[in-house]
Structure 1
């Protein structure tokens, strides 16, 4: 999630509009694709940021590249362009996706483990820790970290739950040295 106040305002406006029109789900999917498009094509951002092109020409480029995109999303891109805030587009996408997840009771989580988690283990972690943070479920990204030795380390936002064997050994070592 970004710390951009500007991005939060634009994302909130788009989120409220998408809710009013009952299109939150479809716009969420388009946002994920647009986020990839802007991230993977650095030249696109540079082209749209170029002072050599007029605002009208930039809008034509956006319209041609993103044919078939929801008009609300297209208009949001035009508003960002007109306000000279297109450099915030990735942050707006991130904020919008966060708002949708919050409304649905979903949180992003990273689970570090020594091996890939099974679907059953992922579901159990999601159910257990979602309740602790007041959400319905977690969208878990499993990251393999052999240095944990065993167990898992779960990160949700800025909260970390560490039940890894390496953390327990470190704690035991501190206890033994401190005694």
Structure 2
């Protein structure tokens, strides 16, 4: 869960609504888009926190920006504006995604590799590492990083599995030095 208790409460309320209406997956996908959009555009939150705009104008900006989201997500975003919690939008989305992952037995994973993973490779990594963290599968974000030289480095929650050539060389160096 995120460190923001207020965001967790909004996310939990939205999650309970989504569960009642069997919309967890749909709302999770929408919140991933919202989180990505807001995270990649830091000026957006600055705009929404501007004292020069009225609440109505801020709500219109949100409504126009995220016009394709479900009424539950739209209402949650509007509620955050009403309560002057614009800066919590990303935290609410993250907390909801965490709740959905917990419900579905999924863990978020970041896989660093020297080239993009194929679907088959991602599936094998998921099948191999999900049981290690007590989950059914992994939601993998692949990051191409030529600095690892070869192999893969996997980050799941607060665990790191480093099978990269760079990691092995670093461990060998520490062994030789000590």
TM-score using structure 1 length:
0.84
Task: Give deviations 1:128-153, integer Å, cap 9, x for gaps.
Answer: 10000011111222223333333221
Task: Give deviations 1:19-57, integer Å, cap 9, x for gaps.
Answer: 112221221222223234434555543343232333344
Matches within 5 A, 1:26-175: 26-175=26-175
The alignment's C-alpha RMSD in Å is: 2.4
Task: Give deviations 1:98-142, integer Å, cap 9, x for gaps.
Answer: 211221111111112233333222211110100000111112222
What is the DSSP-based 3-state SS (H/G/I as helix, E as strand, rest coil) of the residue aligned with 1:143? strand
Give the Å deviation of 1:68: 4.8
What is the DSSP-based 3-state SS (H/G/I as helix, E as strand, rest coil) of the residue aligned with 1:126? helix
What is the DSSP-based 3-state SS (H/G/I as helix, E as strand, rest coil) of the residue aligned with 1:3? coil
Query: CA, structure 1 residues 66+109, in 2 after alignment: closer, same or farther (shift >3 Å)?
Result: closer
Task: Give deviations 1:1-31, integer Å, cap 9, x for gaps.
Answer: 7421211111111111111122212212222
Task: Give deviations 1:39-90, integer Å, cap 9, x for gaps.
Answer: 4555543343232333344334444544453221122122212211111111
What is the DSSP-based 3-state SS (H/G/I as helix, E as strand, rest coil) of the residue aligned with 1:116? coil
What is the DSSP-based 3-state SS (H/G/I as helix, E as strand, rest coil) of the residue aligned with 2:134? coil
Q: Hey, what's the Cα distance between the residues in 2 that align with 1:81 and 1:158?
A: 32
Structure 2, unaligned stretches of length 5 or more? none
What is the DSSP-based 3-state SS (H/G/I as helix, E as strand, rest coil) of the residue aligned with 1:78? helix
Query: CA, structure 1 residues 117+43, in 2 after alignment: closer, same or farther (shift >3 Å)?
Result: closer
TM-score using structure 2 length:
0.84
